[in-house]
Amino acid sequence: MRVTTTVNGTERTADDVWPGESLLHLLRERLGLPGAKNACEQGECGSCTVYLDGEPVCACLVAAGQAVGREVTTVEGLAPGQSLHPVQEAFVEAGAVQCGFCTPGLVVAAHDLLARVPEPSDPEIREALAGNLCRCTGYEKILDAVRLAARRRATR
- Residues near another protein (CB under 8 A) are 1, 18-20, 22, 41-44, 46, 49, 55-58, 60-63, 65-66, 68, 109, 112, 127-128, 130-132
As measured in angstroms, the least distance from the Cβ of 80 to another protein is: 25
Using the minimum distance from each CB to another protein, give the nearer residue, 42 or 83.
Answer: 42
As measured in angstroms, the least distance from the Cβ of 103 to another protein is: 16
As measured in angstroms, the least distance from the Cβ of 70 to another protein is: 9
Using the minimum distance from each CB to another protein, give the nearer residue, 12 or 93.
Answer: 12
Closest by CA to 132, choosing from 78, 77, 54, 56, is: 56
> 127: Cβ–Cβ under 8 A, 6 or more apart, which residues?
none
As measured in angstroms, the least distance from the Cβ of 26 to another protein is: 13
Q: Is there a contact between 48 and 34 (Cβ–Cβ < 8 Å)?
A: no
Cross-strand partners of 143: none
Closest by CA to 141, choosing from 103, 105, 84, is: 103
Chain centre distance of CA 124: 18
Closest by CA to 146, choosing from 125, 128, 123, is: 125
As measured in angstroms, the least distance from the Cβ of 126 to another protein is: 9
Using the minimum distance from each CB to another protein, give the nearer residue, 92 or 130.
Answer: 130
Using the minimum distance from each CB to another protein, give the nearer residue, 43 or 86.
Answer: 43
Using the minimum distance from each CB to another protein, give the nearer residue, 56 or 104.
Answer: 56
For the purposes of burial, counting CB atoms within 10 Å of the CB of 64, is it exposed (0-12), middle (13-18) or buried (19 or more)?
Answer: buried
Three-state DSSP state, 30: helix
